[in-house]
Copies of this chain bind each other. A is one copy, B any other.
Amino acid sequence: MTSPPSASTPDTTLLVLDAEPPPRLGRLTGRARIEHADPSTLAERLPHADVLLVWDFASHAVREAWPGGGPRPRWVHTASAGVDHLMCPELAASDTVVTNARGVFDQPIAEYVAALVLAMAKDLPRTWELQRAREWRHRESQRVSGTRACIVGSGPIGRTIARTLKALEITTALVGRTPRTGIHGPADLDRLMARADWVIAAAPLTDQTYGMFDARRFGMMQPSARFINVGRGQLVVEDALAEALAKRWIAGAALDVFEHEPLTPDSALWQLPGLIVSPHMSGDTIGWRDELGRQFVELYERWEAGRSLVNVVDKKLGYVPGR
């Protein structure tokens, strides 16, 4: 929680960086001047905005436009859990408050991870291949109960993943930046990862986590281990993962996020043996845009009333700290 630099009035300019109009903003009609920008107009509009809503969270336009001259919005909200796409040194050093969509994605992403874990344990991808080939081939599959997961990222998403996997009787270990009750620090990571059946990346992208899943770490994992990334593509050195799969250092992987998104048709990742590719959709369940819109309106109403904001990002850390 933090005190807002100032409350809004009907004269407040709310600038929305969007590709398509966000839902639920109608509630703010007459209470703010709502303007829209796209990546090509953002730099020009930014000095005239009091509040910036980053709805197009796939865009790097904020990071690019922010360092320019002139006044800057006092508050930036991003309709995403990660803030890596907008942060730059000038924004980090400024007085501007940054908030994120903490909470909206926790349960959907946790369910998605459970879906991938179970699909891999039960060999569902092979089942689909065999179905397509009209081939009846019985196989033995794996029990997930009693297996071990190491979840990297101890924010609300990582903790919800841990709770969901525990409900499936999987033994879970959470690793975060700061050790605290129930959460291991970075010093324990290699040891926990080396004995995990499931290594799950759900960390924010920061200087500390960039490229953390590299050849050394894939080489440490068990040959039977599976790796899942629902965090950010840049947590993973993709070439190292490709090598780990090709050389069977690990048994399989699933990526929902990539260094470059969307993945182009010529990417080698589409056909890596043992890799499941999905298009950055783990958190996006039916109604998610509505929920993101509603969450922003709630924050806006706090701001308007001069109350303190929640979901405030620590701009140095790159995420919302604390439980």
The residues of A with any CB-CB pair to B shorter than 8 Å are 107-108, 111-112, 114-115, 118-119, 121-122, 124-125, 127-128, 130-131, 134-145, 164, 167-169, 261-263, 265-267, 270-271, 276-281, 284-288
Contact = CB atoms under 8 A, between A and B. Distances in A.
Contacts of A279: 127, 130, 136-139
A286 B138 contact: no
Of A115, A118, A138, most buried by chain B (CB within 10 Å of CB) is: A115
B111 A168 contact: yes
B107 A138 contact: no
B145 A114 contact: no
Nearest to A131: B277
Contacts of A112: 122, 141
A4 B261 CA distance: 67
Given A115-B121, A128-B125, A143 B107 contact: yes
A118 B167 CA distance: 14
Given A167-B167, A278-B127, A281-B139, A134 B286 contact: no
Contacts of A262: 136
A121 B265 CA distance: 26
Q: Which 10 A-B pairs have the closest CB atoms?
A: A167-B167, A115-B118, A136-B262, A115-B122, A134-B265, A134-B270, A143-B285, A136-B279, A131-B277, A138-B279
Contact of A118 (B114, B135, B141, B270): B114
9 contacts: A115-B115, A115-B124, A127-B277, A127-B279, A134-B271, A141-B285, A142-B286, A164-B168, A167-B168
Contacts of A130: 279
